[in-house]
Amino acid sequence: MKRFFPGGLRRYRILLLVSLVFLSSVLGAGAALYFAPRLMFRPLPPASPPQGLINQPVGLPAQYTADSPVVTIARQVGPSVVGVQAMTGTNYTGDGVVKQGSGVIFDTTNGYIVTNNHVIAGAGRITVSLDREQTYPATLVGADERSDLAVLKVQGPNLPQARLGDSSTLQVGETVVAIGNPLGREFARSVTVGVISALNREVTVPGSRGVEITLRVLQTDAPINPGNSGGALVNLRGEIIGINSVKIAASGVEGMGFAIPINDVRPIIDQIITRGYVTHPFLGVYNLQEITPEMAQWYNIPVGVYVGGVFKDGPAAKAGLQVGDVITAVENQKVATYDDIQRLINKKSPGDQVTVTIRRLKSPNPVNYTITLGELPK
């Protein structure tokens, strides 16, 4: 019998271990070459969508599709955006002019529709179109020129209804969708996509009676064209967060559209429905002139707004304001323009008190007056 010496046994074990390692490497490489292409090109399972984007608000049963949330928004919100045709003058073939705009059904039970005042101002006849076949005559519930809002009423079966959201939660850069009827019924319910470009912008536009009005608006780069006025600006939850109103249409300017925040719209349409009109706070001064820093330096007067007139028995007169006073602050916030004053006053309601700081030209010291605001005469 052959004997194995200790040295030979050690070499045998080393040889066996090397052989096993080599064989494992060959088998592993072969398996990798076989399975890797199949795993690499195998479609991955869909990722779980982020929480909060797929939770539909109550009353909106549609679920977001795999394509895009915009597809769902167009399907579920689009039907509640209507076309508004307002005829001014006598007839379609004579002196009549037809203005085209958009509107949003926000109360299907009563058939209430919100739109812009400038769309229906001066109209003798108003119609609302849901599509090419469904057109209804509309009655004007009420309108407010200063906010550029109006409420219409139609009667029709199974009217779709949009859901109003909360514009106070909006953030700059948030994706929004604009839906409306640019250029009339031929392009009904056109859908455009953009972002919130800015919050709390102020734009001054001519009112329907020629008086300039200042609107506090959302700025968006979602394309808004003539006929979109009164249409919907929608967030990715399918909620109306603004009513499209105006656009800067100047040479070299693109992507500057504006919408009235829905939180500003709500109290206006509530007043229109309950009262038929909207009350606005009234300070009781007029013929206001801005005192610029240059004028203040030249004439040695304070920067602010010069009061050229005070309504007799108005709120300001009752509090003690006089012609020649310079308003320098409202509610302890400096003011330099008429718009500054209006912005702060418009946060109040008739009957509320407001503190106005003035400087009299003969007095070096500022004086505070507490004024109880009245109601703006119609």
Active site residues: 118, 148, 229
Count other C-beta atoms under 10 Å from residue 240's C-beta. 25
Strand stretches in the chain, DSSP E: 81-88, 97-107, 112-115, 125-129, 135-144, 149-153, 175-180, 190-206, 212-220, 232-234, 240-247, 257-261, 281-282, 285-291, 304-310, 326-330, 333-334, 353-359, 367-372, 374-375
Long-range contacts of range 330-333, CB-CB < 8 Å, 24 or more positions apart?
330/354, 330/355, 330/356, 330/357, 331/355, 332/357
Q: Which value, to the nearest 10 degrees, does the dihedral of the CA atoms of residues 268, 266, 350, 202 take?
A: -80
Q: What is the number of other CB atoms lying within 10 angstroms of the CB of residue 127? A: 18
Q: Give 355-378 as a DSSP string.
A: EEEEE-TT-SS-EEEEEE-EE---
Give Cα 74 distance to the centre of its chain: 17
Task: Work out the number of other CB atoms within 10 angstroms of the CB of residue 226.
Answer: 15
How far apart are the two ends of the chain, measured CA to CA in Å?
126
